[in-house]
Amino acid sequence: MVNLTIHPDKRKARIHKEIYGHFSEHLGRCIYGGFYVGEDSPIPNVRGMRTDVVEALRKIRIPVLRWPGGCFADEYHWMDGIGPKESRKKMINTHWGGVMEDNSFGTHEYFELCEQLGCEAYVNGNLGSGTVKEMSEWVEYITFEGVSPMADLRRQNGSENAWKLPYFGVGNENWGCGGNMTPEYYANEYRRYQTYVRDYKNPDNHGQKSINKICCGPNVDDYEWTRGVMDTCFRHCETRFHGNMDGLSLHYYVHPEGWEIKGSATDFDDKTWYKTLSKAWYMDELVRRHSEIMDEYDPAKQIALVVDEWGAWYTVEPGTNPGFLYQQNTIRDALVAGITLNIFNKHADRVRMANLAQTINVLQSVILTDGADMLLTPTYHVFDLYKDHQDNDLVKSFIDSPETGAEAEYRVPQITESASVDKDGLLHITLTNASLAERTEVKAMICGHRVLSADGGIVCGAMDQKNTFEEPDQVTVQNFSDFQITEDGLTVNLPPRSVLHLAVKTA
Ligand code: AHR
């Protein structure tokens, strides 16, 4: 038995809905064939965007979509993606498979997609190979409502009104594919580039901020990068600079067998299951340690840690283009997602956005497509289970879970949890059970409240269970009622290999 204690009246932080964000890069079949099929496609679409995909993502209330990369962002020249499609410049996507990019999906198409999805925009600018002028003009093109060269060009290209741009990334992975910079060099570049990312809706800098600027943060455990960037950006205690950095990104991928080998998405043994999940749990340490460094410069936590790339990264599916990063998705990925999202919830005071990599057909996707067919992955169903945490208050909770795992090096808490209260007072609890074999009784004490009723949904199955185009519903959300209401809370019988959501009505 495992004890879980929840204090619904001890509110800790808001779980920003953006924690449940997604990422879309011009990579493989994420944009082309995934989101976008073009207006003339026989696949049902609205202005080129796949109807099935848009509906599925609206259902999980996608809050924000990062675009256009990734490594692609620092090679992308936005002017190539505007104007009549037939005259748009073509380029080679050198990073991802060396295929031809025809730029038929550009700025207008991206904002059309965000509108159809009902989500916020997060555009990542090009600092690695672009100029300050180019970045500045992109922001003018997107956001300026008055008369100006870029706003006029936007109108000429069919969009009378400016768009909302709540998030703008100033470069991507500038320690690597975005220019191989040192932390100090990048931080100085950040200071310069961001100066010209003008907030036209807030010209005097006293009103409501409309663009949140995201600075390129560390890869995995590169604490030196975090310190170096923070140090350069905050040198001489420039409190004024606070307003000029709203987020610092963090990228972390789970590779079961390391970066070189990675490992199969579907063919793995018990040891690899635990190794993968312990690597997912490592996110907790990363968030804590990077946050501690940020605290030294920003104790009030005004700057968000934005985990704008995360997920499991395996060897590509046999027979597919290695540059397209196409992989299947199993119950193991459901656990990776459930564990990671619980970590983000628990750190909601600092982690205020996260973007799973990547939405469709790339890495740990929530959707896979094959021509006109589409399937929802086990990871999708976890986002469906967790969506009720969005914008809730995180509440204080604690679990005394034992560790589980086959090897001492790769142990992981058997049960992880997070709990939040929504605007109607409903308590939402999410639990993961990483054990391959053990059904566990979780005794949840809900302090200061009596449980009236509860509704549950669960994702569970064999460790390598997956959805295929032939059998798309092998893994879905099932109703869950294996719990008893007790005097001081609930007792839940949590099956092995599972991710659970409970919505609990209390008095
Ligand atoms: O998501 C795939 C790639 O991983 C991104 O382009 C890059 O930012 C990261 O290295």
pLDDT band, very low/low/confident/very high, at 407 (cuts 50, 70, 90): confident
219 CA closest ligand 1 atom index: 10
Strand boundaries in 102-241, DSSP class E: 120-125, 167-170, 212-215
Q: Are 28 and 68 in contact (CB under 8 A)?
A: no
> How many A from CA of 363 to the centre of ligand 1?
10
Which residue CA neighbors atom 9 of ligand 1 most closely?
A: 70
**Mean per-residue pLDDT over the chain, rounded:** 96
pLDDT digits (tens, 9 = 90+) for 179-188: 999 999 999 9
| Residue from 32, 61, 63, 64 nearest 48 by CA | 32
Question: What DSSP state is assigned to residue 429?
Answer: E
Residues 382 and 261 in one domain: yes
Residue 193 identity (one-letter amino acid): Y
> Checking DSSP bridges between strand 367-370 and strand 351-357, what pairing results, if any?
unpaired
The alpha carbon dihedral of 219, 225, 227, 229 has a sign of negative
> Checking DSSP bridges between strand 167-170 and strand 212-215, what pairing results, if any?
parallel
Residues 358 and 214 in one domain: yes
Residues 439 and 320 in one domain: no
Euclidean distance between CA atoms 494 and 1, whole angstroms = 10
| Residue from 299, 405, 309, 291 nearest 351 by CA | 291
Q: Which residues are catalytic?
A: 173, 309
149-173 b/e (C-beta count within 10 Å ≥ 16 → b)? ebbebbeeeebeebbebbbbbbbbb
Euclidean distance between CA atoms 200 and 362, whole angstroms = 35
pLDDT digits (tens, 9 = 90+) for 242-273: 558 999 999 999 999 999 999 999 999 999 99
Q: Is any ligand 1 atom within 6 A of the Cβ of residue 25?
A: yes
Residues 116 and 173 in one domain: yes
The larger pLDDT score, comparing residue 200 to residue 34, is at: 34
Residues 387 and 411 in one domain: no
Q: How far is CA 119 from the centre of its chain?
A: 13
> How many A from CA of 222 to the centre of ligand 1?
16
Q: Which of 396, 428, 448 is the last residue of a domain?
A: 396
CATH number at residue 424: 2.60.40.1180
Q: What is the pLDDT of residue 274?
A: 97
Q: Are 501 and 492 in contact (CB under 8 A)?
A: no
Strand boundaries in 73-227, DSSP class E: 91-93, 99-101, 120-125, 167-170, 212-215
Q: Is any ligand 1 atom within 6 A of the Cβ of residue 28?
A: no
pLDDT digits (tens, 9 = 90+) for 115-167: 999 999 999 999 999 999 999 999 999 999 999 999 999 999 999 999 999 99
| Residue from 455, 461, 441, 440 nearest 334 by CA | 461
Check residue 265 and give left, alpha or beta (phi > 0: left; psi -120 to 50: alpha): alpha
Q: Is any ligand 1 atom within 6 A of the Cβ of residue 123?
A: no
Residues 302 and 423 in one domain: no
* Model confidence at 437: pLDDT above 70: yes
Peptide bond into 38 cis (omega under 30): no
pLDDT digits (tens, 9 = 90+) for 94-104: 999 999 999 99
Q: Which of 371, 396, 421 is the last residue of a domain?
A: 396
Residues 167 and 254 in one domain: yes
pLDDT band, very low/low/confident/very high, at 203 (cuts 50, 70, 90): low
Residues 6+ apart with CB under 8 A from 375: 367, 368, 369, 467, 468, 469, 472
Q: Within a 13 Å sphere around the CA of 77, how many CA atoms are in the beta-carbon half?
A: 12
Q: Is any ligand 1 atom within 6 A of the Cβ of residue 334?
A: no
Q: What is the pLDDT of residue 201?
A: 73
Euclidean distance between CA atoms 289 and 221, whole angstroms = 8
Q: Are 305 and 351 in contact (CB under 8 A)?
A: yes
Residues 24 and 125 in one domain: yes
pLDDT digits (tens, 9 = 90+) for 412-423: 999 999 999 999
Q: Is any ligand 1 atom within 6 A of the Cβ of residue 75?
A: no
Residues 403 and 381 in one domain: no
CATH number at residue 349: 3.20.20.80
Which residue CA neighbors atom 8 of ligand 1 most closely?
A: 70
User: pTM of this prediction?
Assistant: 0.97
> How many A from CA of 107 to the centre of ligand 1?
20
Number of domains in the chain: 2
Residues 84 and 149 in one domain: yes
Q: What is the pLDDT of residue 205?
A: 45
> How many A from CA of 128 to the centre of ligand 1?
14
Euclidean distance between CA atoms 415 and 403, whole angstroms = 8
Residues 491 and 368 in one domain: no
303: three-class secondary structure by DSSP: coil
Q: Which of 396, 425, 452 is the last residue of a domain?
A: 396
Q: Is 242 buried (19+), middle (13-18) or exposed (0-12) by CB count in 10 A?
A: middle
Which residue CA neighbors atom 5 of ligand 1 most closely?
A: 70
Backbone angles phi, psi at 350, to 5 degrees: -115, -40
Residues 334 and 451 in one domain: no
> How many A from CA of 266 to the centre of ligand 1?
22
Q: What is the pLDDT of residue 138?
A: 98
Domain that holds residue 147: 2-396
Residues 6+ apart with CB under 8 A from 86: none
* Model confidence at 240: pLDDT above 60: no
pLDDT digits (tens, 9 = 90+) for 273-295: 999 999 999 999 999 999 999 99
